[in-house]
Amino acid sequence: MAERPVTRLRADRLGLGRALGSRLLPALVAAMTFLAALALAGMVGASQLAGRWQDGAGTLVTVQVPQPGEAAAGGAGGRLDRVEALLDGDARIAAHHRLDDTELQHLLEPWLGDGTKLDTLPLPAVVQVRLRADDAAAGLPPGLSAAIANAAPGTLVEANGVWGVRLARLAASLQACAALALLLVGLVAAGVIAVAARASLGAKRQTVEIVHGLGAAPGDIAGRFARRASVLCAIGGVAGSLAALPVLVALARLAAPFSALPKEADDALVAAWQARLPAAVVTALRDSLPSALWRAIPALPLGATAIGWAATQATVRAWLRRL
């Protein structure tokens, strides 16, 4: 009676799943995951920096009115009063604020030093104008600028909107570079896993050839290797993510003055934490990293596992087709 072909390996008695090394591969995947976490941090940081500039400093216009106490052109009140009246009458101005002596002192302190008396200096009045977000890129409306120049000749207007556009372009370029780095890290990881799989196939070549010749399905053989590779990649992904956390937290603290961290109480991630963790822990987690990174970091081990599975499956199946 002819023996039935072996179509499926019921148990891994031949040690195919354990052919992959259990030390080097997780270490390499951990290094790749660490680099991927840094690339993700770069993407999130660039996005938040550009967002804060466009919503904050990018909407500001500084108006400097020299000789603010003198009469405006035409005699309609003082120069500063006339400028503020023009700003009040324009619907495209969201708000404006005249800097007082304390604010000017703080602003000029790096150049003039502490303790300088401003009343001895012929300083202009400084008005901070906040434009509506839709009009920030264009700056102060041309008609309003002309009216201010006519009412208070010599007034200087400095807009930040043009810098906001340039910063947004720079942020987009940085995000593209970070995405490219993330893609390259994934490709390198896939290549490393493929090399490890081929090395393990070489170590088990005779065994694989025998079971394949007896009729074992290529998918079953590839699955044995892929399951082992995915477990090792998951271990490396978790280790790399945990190793990256202290570095990311340190970078987030350095970048805190330049980019606003999301602290919305209704954020879905924060709400999920609040249902499972003490309030103090939730606050610490929320303030340590942006919520976008907290969502992305758990995906890194999952991505490493998926790459390990796919790369090993493809490598083993291609190797079996050449037998």
Q: Is there a contact between 318 and 51 (Cβ–Cβ < 8 Å)?
A: no
pLDDT at 31: 93
pLDDT at 168 over 50: yes
pLDDT at 243: 92
Whose CA is closest to 51, among 186, 203, 217, 167? 167
More confident residue, 4 or 312: 312
Rounded to an integer, the average pLDDT of 85-108 is: 77
- Torsional class of 290: left (φ above 0), alpha (ψ -120 to 50), beta (otherwise): beta
Instruction: State the Cα torsion 102-107-112-114 to the nearest 10°.
Output: 50
Rounded to 5 degrees, φ, ψ at 157 are -120, 120
pLDDT at 304: 93
Q: Which amino acid is at 200?
A: S
Among residues of the chain, what percentage have pLDDT more than 70?
A: 69
Instruction: Give the model confidence (pLDDT) of 189-238 as tens digits.
Output: 999 999 888 888 877 777 777 776 777 787 788 888 888 889 899 999 99
Q: What is the pTM of this model?
A: 0.65
Q: What is the 3-state secondary structure (H, E, C) of 115-143?
A: CCCHHHCCCCEEEEEEECHHHCCCCCCHH
Please give the Cα distance from 51 to 298 (Å, whole number). Answer: 24
Please give the Cα distance from 104 to 98 (Å, whole number). Answer: 10
- Hey, is 56 helix, strand or coil? coil
pLDDT at 266: 41
- Interior angle at CA 47, CA 45 and CA 53, nearest 5: 100
Percent of residues in the chain assigned helix, strand, coil, to nearest 5: 65, 10, 30
Q: Is there a contact between 94 and 108 (Cβ–Cβ < 8 Å)?
A: no
Please give the Cα distance from 57 to 73 (Å, whole number). Answer: 31
Please give the Cα distance from 102 to 104 (Å, whole number). Answer: 5
- What is the token pair recorded at 83? 């400028």
Q: Is there a contact between 291 and 262 (Cβ–Cβ < 8 Å)?
A: yes
Which range has the top average pLDDT, 11-20, 54-63, 84-93, 187-196?
Answer: 187-196
Report residue 16 CA to chain centroid gap: 41
Q: Is there a contact between 219 and 40 (Cβ–Cβ < 8 Å)?
A: no
Instruction: Give the model confidence (pLDDT) of 264-279 as tens digits.
Output: 444 555 555 555 555 5
Instruction: Give the model confidence (pLDDT) of 136-162 as tens digits.
Output: 555 677 778 788 888 888 888 777 656
- Torsional class of 28: left (φ above 0), alpha (ψ -120 to 50), beta (otherwise): alpha
